[in-house]
Amino acid sequence: MKGKPEVRIYATNPFVPEQESITTSDDLGLTKEESFPLYSWAEMRIENEFPDENAKYLLHMSNGTKGKFDAKPLYSAYHECAGSTDVNILRRKVDLPAKQKGTHEEPQNNFLHCARVCVRTDSNMCNQETSYMISILKDTGFVNILTMVAIIDELIEFAMRKKCAMQAWKFATIQKENLE
């Protein structure tokens, strides 16, 4: 994969009233039976890649116009530090219910801290178990956060597979040079 990925998220119902469908399940190869319309829901954009400490994930919601998304992200997520799989998720202030404004403020921008995801992997012998803990403030959009977490998890896994493949290639190259 070259460049920064952009992930489009579709819904089976309109995100905003009178929204037109952008594609169908058949067009995307999702159904073998009856095709159904799909509507733009959100687009996730990535700045830098994991494990870079500046990796950032931005969720831009559909504005209802065919294929268009809000210029400002509704959610922003970042890792605590380089290599950490834990993720902090922020939500734009202007979209929070009035009762939540002014709490848990992030001073550097217009976002409020709304969730934290901790990932832990325990390995013993041939078993590996990964557990997730998601802590979310009330009224911050559980579905949006869960969607972001699932996509971020896939991106981290992809980055790790890429890193392992590169290390295996380097090891094989060194072994080949040692045999010659």
Give the model confidence (pLDDT) of 42-70 as tens digits.
888 888 776 677 788 899 988 888 878 99
Band of residue 81 on the pLDDT scale cut at 50, 70, 90:
confident
Give the model confidence (pLDDT) of 106-133 as tens digits.
445 688 888 888 877 776 666 667 777 7
* Ranges 10-14, 100-104, 109-113, 142-146: which has the least confidence: 100-104
For the chain, report the end-to-end CA distance as a whole number of angstroms: 33
Beta bridge partners of 60: 43
Rounded (5°) CA angle 85-86-89: 125
Q: What's the pTM? A: 0.70
Q: What is the residue extent of each domain of the chain?
A: 42-179
Rounded (5°) CA angle 153-114-6: 40
